[in-house]
Amino acid sequence: MNMHASASIARRYGAGGLILLLGLAVVLEARTLGLGTLARVGPGLFPMLVGCALGAVGLLIAVTPEAAEHEAGEGGRPDWRGWFCIVLGIVLFMVLGEHLGLGAATFVCVFVSALGDRSGSVRAALVLGLAMTVVAGLVFTLALKFQMPFWRG
pLDDT in tens, 48-74: 888 888 888 888 888 876 644 555 444
Residue 75's pLDDT is what? 54
- The C-alpha atoms of residue 120 and residue 106 are separated, in whole angstroms, by 19
Dihedral sign for Cα atoms in the order 32, 37, 43, 49: positive
Give Cα 40 to chain centroid, integer Å. 25
3-state helix, strand, coil in the chain (%, to 5): 75, 0, 25
Are the CB atoms for 7 and 64 separated by under 8 Å?
no
N-to-C CA span, the chain: 60
Residue 4's pLDDT is what? 59
pLDDT > 90? residue 80: no
Tell me the three state secondary structure of residue 41. strand
For the segment 37-56, the average pLDDT, to the nearest whole number, is 83
Task: Share the mean pLDDT of the chain.
Answer: 83
